[in-house]
Amino acid sequence: MKERYSIKDGRTEAVMWILYKDNKILIEDRPQDEQGESRCIPCGHIDLNRDKEDNYIESAFLRECQEEFESGNFKPIKYDFLTTVDFDEPNKQGGIDRLRLHYFVITEWTGDIPEYTVEDNKKHADLVWLPISKYKELPQSCDRQALEELLKRV
């Protein structure tokens, strides 16, 4: 079944999750794309075929954690909604993708954190721990904005 992305106010919705422990955050270290951006917070789209509950954003967050961290036993135990950021980014077709990103922070979990994320049953990006003090090194302004919100809370 083809994914049906959630779109609100002309923006495609996605969920982002920040694993935070010992003053470090877990990030994806992806192969560089056309914009040269390779480091970002793990994320996934909201799919209205699967995320149907009243709280579809949280449902998508929990589902995407399982899919991206394909270890099968990773489960967020203590997490909170952090912030929503509207973000525009260039796409491969020369246009602009208008996104609405819903960030969660996970401070406790069970299971294993894999070495990499998975997309379409293939390795997608390595997972690495980054000291939160280096968050300004992340290329996406949306990720930096969310991490600034996290720093206000911790």
Encode pLDDT of 116-130 as tens digits: 988 888 888 999 999
**Where along the chain do its domains lie?**
7-153
Q: Is the pLDDT confidence value at 98 over 90?
A: yes
Encode pLDDT of 18-64 as tens digits: 999 999 999 999 877 645 558 999 999 999 999 987 899 999 999 99
Helix, strand, or coil here: 154? Answer: coil
Above pLDDT 70, what percent of the chain?
95
Q: Which CATH class is domain 7-153?
A: alpha beta
The model carries a pTM of 0.92
In 3D space, the residue among 46, 40, 41, 45 whose CA is nearest the CA of residue 19 turns out to be 41
Q: What pLDDT does 54 receive?
A: 87
Contact 69, 117 (CB under 8 A): yes
